[in-house]
Amino acid sequence: MLTRSIPSTGEKLPVIGFGTWQGFDVRARGSSLDQRMEVLRILFNAGGTVIDSSPMYGRAEEVVGAALANLKSDVKPFLATKVWTNGLKAGIRQMDNSFNLLGSDVIDLMQIHNLVDWRTHLPVLREWKEQGRIRYIGITHYTDSGLDQLCDAMEEEAFDFVQCCYAINARAAENRMLPMAADMGVAIMVNKPFGQGGLFSRIRRHPLPDWSSEIDCSSWAQFFLKYIVSHPAITCVIPGTSRIESANDNVAAGMGRMPDADLRNRMHAYWSSL
Ligand SMILES: NC(=O)c1ccc[n+]([C@@H]2O[C@H](COP(=O)([O-])OP(=O)(O)OC[C@H]3O[C@@H](n4cnc5c(N)ncnc54)[C@H](OP(=O)(O)O)[C@@H]3O)[C@@H](O)[C@H]2O)c1
């Protein structure tokens, strides 16, 4: 799978990871767990490592922890989760719980979810990074209206990662966020690459353009994901699914030829014409 460097360290990260919102909020046993284990196996077999979760996602952290424990894979996952609460003590409690649920002494990326009480949590994150408990620090938001808040926070404080929305139908991040992150050396993790699934309803009756084969795309999901990861400021993208078929589809977007700037324009023009 294609990799990109995390600007603050140069560490390579595979461009396709998996999000866990909704799809991993299930019982941490039986066939529900088996299916999520298979989804993660598909990610690892394809060369992916990034798993994004949050205490906001119900049982998702517990399910990721249980799936990883049962899988016993040789692949080292890149675990990303979040703190999503108000107050210093509540934040520490919540993050401590995430270590337990994920079954790991180290969390690769701790993000402040939707910037909730971010100035309170940041000193704890900095201290834990010093101690090696977490490896990278990030902030997240999921709406276009949150992009300016993220940029303002980046101007105030240094972060390794920003997680924000960017998709073929939602390109506001190109205005300020992506150029700023590229200039400042901040990694971008993209959420909602399919507009939470909404993109698929628009293309339902439309075939892929013939020239999709030039960038090794065999599905609309790959078309949407390749559009995102071919932007030079993007580090990785975390599509959400718990379906085996979708997981196989999505990891394939990290392989093969990627569009250049001209082809990206053509992709967007085609999408806009539908
Ligand atoms: N504030 C934040 O920090 C924030 C906010 C939102 C999201 N996130 C993160 O970003 C991740 C991704 O966002 P998201 O899950 O909201 O939305 P998304 O990835 O844009 O869309 C997920 C939807 O797309 C469908 N899908 C996935 N792969 C598909 C494929 N190959 N073919 C057809 N349909 C497919 C899924 O259905 P199936 O499961 O049926 O395939 C699901 O309904 C989340 O899981 C979460 O980790 C973070």
User: Do 85 and 116 contact (CB within 8 A), yes or no?
Assistant: yes
**CA-nearest residue, atom 31 of ligand 1:** 246
Q: Count of CB atoms within 10 A of residue 71's CB? A: 16
pTM for this prediction: 0.98
Q: What is the signed CA dihedral for 240, 267, 188, 153, rounded to 10 degrees? A: -110
Classify residue 190: in a domain, yes or no.
yes
The stretch 26-42 carries a mean pLDDT of 98
Quote the number of domains for the chain: 1
CA–centroid distance, 243 to ligand 1, in Å, is 11
pLDDT tens digits, 158-179: 999 999 999 999 999 999 999 9
CATH number of the domain at 136, please.
Answer: 3.20.20.100
CA–centroid distance, 239 to ligand 1, in Å, is 5
DSSP letter for 170, please. B
Using most ligand atoms within 8 A of CB, pick from 38, 163, 188, 192 the residue to mutate for ligand 1. 192
pLDDT tens digits, 90-106: 999 999 999 999 999 99
Mean pLDDT of the chain: 98
Q: Which two tokens stand for residue 208?
A: 């892929």
pLDDT tens digits, 40-82: 999 999 999 999 999 999 999 999 999 999 999 999 999 999 9
Classify residue 178: in a domain, yes or no.
yes
pLDDT at 49: 98
Using most ligand atoms within 8 A of CB, pick from 18, 20, 21 the residue to mutate for ligand 1. 21
Structural domain span for residue 143: 12-205+229-256
pLDDT tens digits, 198-216: 999 999 889 999 999 999 9
Q: How far is 157 from 122, CA to CA, in rounded Å? A: 9
Classify residue 191: in a domain, yes or no.
yes
Classify residue 268: in a domain, yes or no.
no
Classify residue 271: in a domain, yes or no.
no
Classify residue 264: in a domain, yes or no.
no
Q: How far is 57 from 43, CA to CA, in rounded Å? A: 20
Which residues' Cβ are closer than 6 Å to ligand 1? Answer: 19-21, 23, 52, 113-114, 140-142, 163, 191-197, 200, 221, 238-243, 246, 249-250
Give me the count of residues in the chain. 274
Q: How far is 115 from 68, CA to CA, in rounded Å? A: 28
Classify residue 122: in a domain, yes or no.
yes
- Distance (Å) of CA 264 to CA 16, 147, 272: 18, 22, 12
Alpha-helix residue ranges (DSSP H) falling in 46-166: 60-71, 88-102, 118-131, 147-156
pLDDT band at 221 (very low <50, low <70, confident <90, very high): very high
DSSP 219-249: SHHHHHHHHHHTSTT--EE--B---HHHHHH
Classify residue 223: in a domain, yes or no.
no
